[in-house]
Amino acid sequence: MKTEKCKLRWLAVVAGLVASLSLMAQQSQGEPDWMKDFTSRITLNGYAQAGWSYQNPNGKSQNSYNLKRTLLWAKARITDRWSFLFMHDFSSVVQEFYTDYRLTKGSEMTVRFGQFKHSYSMENPLSPTQLELIDVYSQAVLYLAGEGPDPLNGVNYGRDLGLEVYGDLANGVVHYELALMSGQGINRKDLNNDKDFIAKLELRPVEGLRVVASGYLGTGHAIGTAAWNPDVKVGDDYTRNRYSVGAEYKTQPYAGSKYKEARPASIRAEWLGGKDGEVGSRGGYVTTTLPLVDALDLVASAETYDRNTKVDGWDQTNVTLGLQYWYYKKCRLQLQYTRCLLGDRLGKDYDWLQAQVQVAF
């Protein structure tokens, strides 16, 4: 009940903000230049993803409709160097709130402070509106980047509180990101005195190609337990380190909000690993998109993740094949079939059929 009241309160706030900005925009014709300048510095974006899913885990069929994400964010360009962003998911929780300040004349160095998507892995910083899979992230990214069900640290949507410095060097050939993060995830106070360090280095030797390495050194504070990591108990501080290496090639970049017009052929591959306490895990993925006809694309992916590399049976491999149709700018229809191959400790292999509609602006 409390959660529903909070959602209604945020809806009222955003509705009021949109109405106010709309009114100011209408009144700005004939009004002083400062009002036009103010409205031009505020941008609103959002998207929703909803669909249907069928699974038959352990031979039991189940299907359901779902509303996965309903995000709205506002970005304020305070000055040419200083900006602020606030993002809320109305089907979940507040996702991001941070401020950026560019220290250099160019893009060499910018400081970010607040709650935001951290830099570990190639997939984590990407928007679900761009990613190819309906389930969005590979298993390795879901667990190791905190995008999904990490029993030890909870679901944090790949976000955390902290301070980051990032920028582009050598005319954009080199991109770097360095961050000190809380490590406890979103909307939560840090439960230990250690801060987590995240570093990413991205090389762009030719147009369309990027080669990326990232690392994560930290100390977690367990708020839950994991069957594949029984030595870490609730309340324990434990080592939480990660690494990733990968590459991506796109025939052309997305042009702003015009995903439909761009529609590049692409391939992305990444290998990730980590250690929670004394238990190591690792996995990787290869995902490709090939334009077919009109606005129709073929999507294919293969990914695997082993939750405990020392004990057999905690691994899972997914193979996905699907189609997506871009019907307007960033809006698409998706249909995908996944065969899930499970280790003995996770259950029996099963089929997964998903359909989804994405509306974005």
CB 96 within 8 A of CB 143: no
Instruction: Work out the end-to-end distance of the chain between its first and last CA atoms, rounded to an integer number of angstroms.
Output: 30
Which residue bears the tokens 């307007």?
Answer: 328
Give me the pLDDT at residue 25, please. 47
Neighbours of 64 (CB within 10 A): 9
- Check the CA dihedral 56-57-60-64 and report its sign: negative
Give me the pLDDT at residue 16, please. 52
Q: What is the pLDDT of residues 251-286, one digit of tens each?
A: 988 776 778 888 899 999 999 999 999 999 999 999
Inform me whether the pLDDT recorded for 31 exceeds 90.
no
Judge whether 35 lies within some domain: no
Neighbours of 128 (CB within 10 A): 18
Judge whether 139 lies within some domain: yes
Task: Report the CATH number at residue 130.
Answer: 2.40.160.10
Neighbours of 120 (CB within 10 A): 30
CA distance linking residue 218 with residue 240, whole number of Å? 5
Judge whether 312 lies within some domain: yes
Inform me whether the pLDDT recorded for 30 exceeds 70.
no
Query: What pTM was estimated for this model as a whole?
Result: 0.87
pLDDT bin (cut points 50, 70, 90) of residue 40 is confident
Residue 164 makes CB contacts below 8 A (sequence gap 6+) with 111, 112, 113, 116, 118, 119, 177, 178, 179, 180
Q: What is the pLDDT of residues 286-337, one digit of tens each?
A: 999 999 999 999 999 999 999 999 999 999 999 999 999 999 999 999 999 9
Number of structural domains (the chain) is 1
Inform me whether the pLDDT recorded for 7 exceeds 60.
no
Give me the pLDDT at residue 21, please. 46
Q: Which two tokens stand for residue 97?
A: 């709130």
Q: In 104-257, where does DSSP find H-type helix?
A: 139-144
Helix pair 33-40, 2-27: axis angle to 10 deg: 140
Q: Which amino acid is at 179?
A: A
Can you give the residue range of the structural domain that contains 303? 41-360
pLDDT above 70 covers a percentage of the chain that reads: 89
Give me the pLDDT at residue 270, please. 98
Give me the pLDDT at residue 29, please. 52
Cα-to-chain-centroid distance, residue 49 = 14
Beta strands in the chain (DSSP E): 42-55, 62-77, 82-89, 94-102, 110-117, 159-169, 174-181, 196-203, 209-221, 237-250, 266-276, 279-291, 296-306, 315-328, 331-342, 350-360
Could you give the 3-state DSSP secondary structure of residue 21?
Answer: helix
Judge whether 51 lies within some domain: yes
Neighbours of 99 (CB within 10 A): 15
Neighbours of 13 (CB within 10 A): 12
Inform me whether the pLDDT recorded for 15 exceeds 50.
no
Inform me whether the pLDDT recorded for 214 exceeds 60.
yes
Judge whether 24 lies within some domain: no
CA distance linking residue 205 with residue 223, whole number of Å? 42
Judge whether 19 lies within some domain: no
Q: What is the pLDDT of residues 50-107, one digit of tens each?
A: 999 999 998 899 999 999 999 999 999 999 999 999 999 998 999 999 999 999 999 9
